[in-house]
Homo-oligomer: A and B are copies of this chain.
Amino acid sequence: MKILVSATLLFAALPLPIWTQEPPARRAGAAPAPRIVSPEISSDRHVTFRLAAPQAHEVLVTGEFMKGSKSMEKGENGVWSVTVGPIEPEIYYYNFTIDGVRTIDPNNPEVKTGSTPSTISSTLEVHGDGPAFYDGQAVPHGEIRTHWYQSKSLDSLRRLTVYTPPDYGRDTRTRYPVLYLLHGANADETAWYRLGHVNLILDNLLAAGKIRPFLVVMPFGYGVPPNTPSAGGRNTEMFAKDLIEDVIPYIQSQYRALTDADHRAIIGLSMGGGESLGIGLSHLELFGYVGGFSAAAGRPADFAKAYAAVIANPAASNRKLHLLWLGCGREDSLFPTDKALADFLGEHNVKHTFLESSGAHTWINWRQYLREVAPQLFR
């Protein structure tokens, strides 16, 4: 069974000699440096990071596979290295800090990017014995479609991405439910497929008969520029305008989408979780399914105002809302917020699910939450 997603990843998994030939890029006039392999993953899932930095005084590794940072040791030829592990099979992000400058691992082609510099990291993918639920497998595959659309609300050309399930292209009659799926701060409209593997997770669930096919629409989730100071409320307001007045009509003009609230969901993570709860719970006429993953749900003191619509008539809300799903990891700094929101909804008799998971504010959790929630949508 093929478990690797892309040719790039496939090749990255092949054994390579540590020292080969010349490096791909070198400074004019400098002697060819040895080619460095980093990260190198052993069969027992220990991982060695390396960096050629003869002039450096300190090189640190930070990554989602451990707490804090780890110092690399300087070896011969000025090549620093450290081995960590064994590491559980997962996809992790990590950085090097070279004499105080936080950057990527320059020898690893897999770089995570987004809409702000803070999100730039290198990727470490540790494989287990079999395929993970987020790996590409030998099942029918959907597509990711990238659209450029003119947002009248924001007076700009923006991008969005859409997942179409495997049958969508051949079938020209069926209409599909739609999940609007929002990324977090510092990310963009590519995050859910590049980092979240949404298409592969849904392809696998569909092949296993665990979900019904639906479209996933992933807009760019900022209504104001990233890093705008104190933009919280205005960001959601402007994004909501774009979503409701531009994105949804655009999608419904381009795709065979079902257009009632019973077949429309909104879910987001972190900043996007705050957006999906804020927008979704204020528009039950539009969204029958609402979810927040590690949601930036606002201050508990503001809940009564922010979520006034859904608590005003709990019986009516519970009739309209087929699912209100919250999930957060206990090591996530947003855990108290999300727990407080779940308690608040409970006190107001609004039906909901709150998954207290292990883990922190990472894609590890968000991929798992998607796997958990997808089978509960549109049933």
A residues in contact (CB < 8 Å) with B:
2, 4-8, 10-11, 14, 16, 20-21, 23-25, 27-28, 51-58, 60, 68-69, 97-104, 106-111, 113-120, 136-138, 141, 143-150, 154-159, 169, 172, 186, 188, 193, 199-200, 203, 220, 222, 225-227, 229, 254
Contact = CB atoms under 8 A, between A and B. Distances in A.
B147 A145 contact: no
A223 to B, nearest CB: 9
Contact of A69 (B24, B27, B222): B27
Contact of A11 (B14, B53, B99, B115): B115
A217 to B, nearest CB: 13
Nearest to A13: B225
A5 B136 contact: no
A102 B113 contact: no
Nearest to A26: B102
24 contacts: A6-B159, A8-B220, A10-B225, A20-B227, A23-B118, A24-B118, A24-B186, A24-B227, A52-B100, A53-B101, A55-B57, A55-B58, A56-B99, A98-B103, A102-B106, A104-B120, A107-B117, A109-B115, A109-B116, A109-B117, A111-B111, A143-B146, A143-B147, A148-B199
A114 B109 contact: yes
A69 to B, nearest CB: 7
Given A141-B149, A144-B145, A169 B56 contact: no
A147 B156 contact: no
B100 A157 contact: no
B143 A100 contact: no
A156 B225 contact: no
A161 to B, nearest CB: 9
Given A52-B100, A138-B157, 8 more contacts: A10-B157, A27-B100, A55-B57, A102-B106, A109-B113, A109-B116, A113-B113, A146-B193
Q: Which of A23, A107, A138, A156 has the most CB of B within 10 A?
A: A156
> DSSP majority for the A interface?
loop
A105 to B, nearest CB: 8
A120 B101 contact: no
A53 B100 contact: yes
Contacts of A108: 117
B103 A104 contact: yes
Given A100-B55, A101-B98, A229 B20 contact: yes
Contact of A53 (B99, B155, B200): B99
Contacts of A138: 150, 157
Q: Closest 7 A-B residue pairs measured CB to CB?
A: A24-B118, A11-B225, A141-B148, A55-B99, A144-B146, A25-B118, A7-B220
Given A109-B120, A120-B104, A229 B21 contact: yes
Given A25-B118, A113-B111, A156 B101 contact: no
A117 to B, nearest CB: 5
B111 A120 contact: yes
Q: Which of A97, A157, A199, A220 counts the most chain B CB atoms within 10 A?
A: A157
A169 to B, nearest CB: 6
A23 B25 CA distance: 30
Contacts of A20: 227, 229
